Structure 1
Amino acid sequence: MDWDKLRIFHAVADAGSLTHAGDTLHLSQSAVSRQVRALEESLNTNLFHRHARGLILTEQGELLFDATRAMTKRLDAASARIRDSEEEVFGELRVTTTIGFGTLWLASRLSNFYADYPDLNIDLMLDERVLDLPMREADVAIRMKEPSQADLVRKRLMSVRMRLYATRSYLETHEMPQTIEDLQEHRLICQNLSSEQVSAGATMVRELMSYDLPSLLTVNNYFGCLQAVRNDLGIGVLPDYVAIDDRDLVRVLPEVESNAVPVFLAYPEELRQSKRISAFRDFVVAQIDAQKKRAQMIENG
């Protein structure tokens, strides 16, 4: 099967338009149309339903698009490995992690990474979904559980616990709770149980809600919870790493916390020698080590 025709078909299927595909490929609309027609004739099938509003893949077209998408991802992976220099780190690095960890921990530290590697572009994908690394939906992932996909290099980074926090200004005007029952005198800020979150966090929230708290503010991610806590709306369930960097947060009810949540960094086996991956992995590990040292200094006074 002619790869040039497949490449053009893939661009048309991805864009849903001959014109847009032609712009991407720097070809005329008529040239793109001829190549697609020739591919359909060689396969003896229609790959698109043609409508006034655009092109829609037929069932056969969907099958072929799945194949060309997988081929494209594999070619991208091969290209990335070839481009990786022994001395330089450049190109694009696609990083996926959860919304909470990405917004509250990783994004604020990337300026340090860019300072060392100004020629590397990062595509930060914040999503609770677990993207398929072997299929190159992302290059590297930081996840709140050990990845189960095959052919991945895994590294455990740290453990996280969900704890209760409030601001110093909030506690100046509201009495510090001494027992869980005392939370009935406060507004609890937490993720809602219908949102995607680690099971340890959901278990903790469920237990707290069993005390029939009269005032709740639920949010679908930890970034929103943190902003509500910072604005003195109540006592929030937050991951412990946010308090290390925010000295205005005070831990409430130290005996109340979730089970430990393991944090893993993972990437495809085929990218083991990638300089981009190595640079990012070493950067994350160094940032975590520095945070652990700050946490020990705070704990020791």
Structure 2
Amino acid sequence: MDWDKLRIFHAVADAGSLTHAGEALHLSQSAVSRQIRALEESLNVTLFHRHARGLILTEQGELLFDATKSMRKRLDAATARIRDSSDAIYGELRVTTTTGFGTMWLAPRLGRLYERYPNLKIDLILEERVLDLPMREADVAIRMKEPSQADLIRRRLMDVVMKFYASTDYIEFHGVPKTRDELAQHRIITQSPSSRQVSAGLTWLQPFLLAEFESRLTVNNYFGILQTVLNGLGIGSLPHYVAADFPQLVNVLPREMSKSIPVYLAYPEELRQSKRVAAFRDFIIEEINTFKRRHPDIMDIQPEPAAGFL
């Protein structure tokens, strides 16, 4: 099978348009169309349904697209390993983590990584879905649970707990609740029960979600909760590490916290020798260790069993 035709087919299937694929490949639409037609003739199948809004893959086209996606990922991995044979740290690194950790902890620190490696190109993928590292959906992941796949290198970075926080302005105006019953008199801000989140955080919040609060606000990610708390909308459940970077936050009911949530860094075994991955890994470990040394009071977490509402 002609590799060049497969490359063009992959671009068309990915873009859903001959025109857009041609722009990405620097080919005319007619040249792309001829290559697709020739590939269909060589396979004796129709790969695309054509309609006014673009192209839709046929069943045979879907099968071929799955194959070319796997080929593309393998080629990307091989290219990365070849580039990593030099001493320089450069090129693309795809990093995935949760929206909360990525926006509130990782992103503010990436400037120091770029100071060391200005030629590094980071593609930061923030979402709750666990991307498949062996299938190269990302190169490195920072996850809020230990990865289950056997072909991953992993390292436990730290533990996180969820606590309740309010802004200093909110506390000055509304006061500090001393008990759970007093907390129920405030607006509580939590992650939406239906949104993806770690089980330890949801389990801890369940009694609060079932209790009768005068007012409640739910948000589908922790960055949104942080913004509402900073703006004085109420008392929110947040990862405890945010208190270090936002001194205007006050920990409300300090004895109330979730069970520990482990934070792991992971990457595929095949990237063990990657200099870009090693540079990112070492940077993150250094940042975590510095963070722990500077904030021992915040990072010293000893969760206690939470009593239910009476």
SS, match of residue 159 in structure 1: strand
1:196 is matched with which residue?
196
Question: Superposed, which structure 2 residues align to 1:88-99 within 5 Å?
Answer: 88-99=88-99
Contact 2:241–2:298 (8 Å) recurs in 1? no
User: How many residues are matched?
Assistant: 300
Cα distance in structure 2, aligned partners of 1:20 and 1:172: 56
Question: Superposed, which structure 2 residues align to 1:1-301 within 5 Å?
Answer: 1-296=1-296
- 1:183-233 Cα distance to aligned partner (Å, 9 max, x none): 122111111111111111111221212331111111111111111111112
- 1:51-72 Cα distance to aligned partner (Å, 9 max, x none): 2332211100010001001100
SS, match of residue 254 in structure 1: coil
* Pair 1:243–1:286, CA change in 2 (3 A): same
SS, match of residue 128 in structure 1: coil
Contact 2:241–2:299 (8 Å) recurs in 1? no
Cα distance in structure 1, aligned partners of 2:146 and 2:252: 29
Q: CA deviation at 1:151?
A: 1.4
SS, match of residue 159 in structure 2: strand
* RMSD of Structure 2 on Structure 1 (CA): 1.5
Q: What percent identity do the matched residue pairs reach?
A: 68
Cα distance in structure 1, aligned partners of 2:265 and 2:239: 18
Q: Which amino acid aligns with 2:240?
A: D
* Pair 1:292–1:28, CA change in 2 (3 A): same
Cα distance in structure 2, aligned partners of 1:166 and 1:112: 30
Cα distance in structure 1, aligned partners of 2:145 and 2:21: 39
TM-score by length of 1: 0.96
SS, match of residue 256 in structure 2: strand
Cα distance in structure 2, aligned partners of 1:32 and 1:163: 56
Q: Which amino acid aligns with 1:132?
A: D
Cα distance in structure 2, aligned partners of 1:175 and 1:25: 62
Cα distance in structure 2, aligned partners of 1:67 and 1:36: 16
Q: CA deviation at 1:296?
A: 1.6
SS, match of residue 154 in structure 1: strand
Unaligned residue ranges in structure 2 (runs of 5+): 301-310
TM-score by length of 2: 0.93
Contact 1:165–1:252 (8 Å) recurs in 2? yes
Cα distance in structure 2, aligned partners of 1:232 and 1:36: 58
SS, match of residue 257 in structure 1: coil
Q: CA deviation at 1:299?
A: 8.5
Cα distance in structure 2, aligned partners of 1:130 and 1:243: 26
Q: Which amino acid aligns with 1:293?
A: R
Unaligned residue ranges in structure 1 (runs of 5+): none
Q: Which amino acid aligns with 2:113?
A: F
Which one is further off, 155-164 or 169-178? 169-178
Cα distance in structure 2, aligned partners of 1:158 and 1:290: 12
SS, match of residue 224 in structure 1: helix
Q: CA deviation at 1:298?
A: 6.8
SS, match of residue 212 in structure 2: coil
Q: CA deviation at 1:245?
A: 1.8
SS, match of residue 255 in structure 1: coil
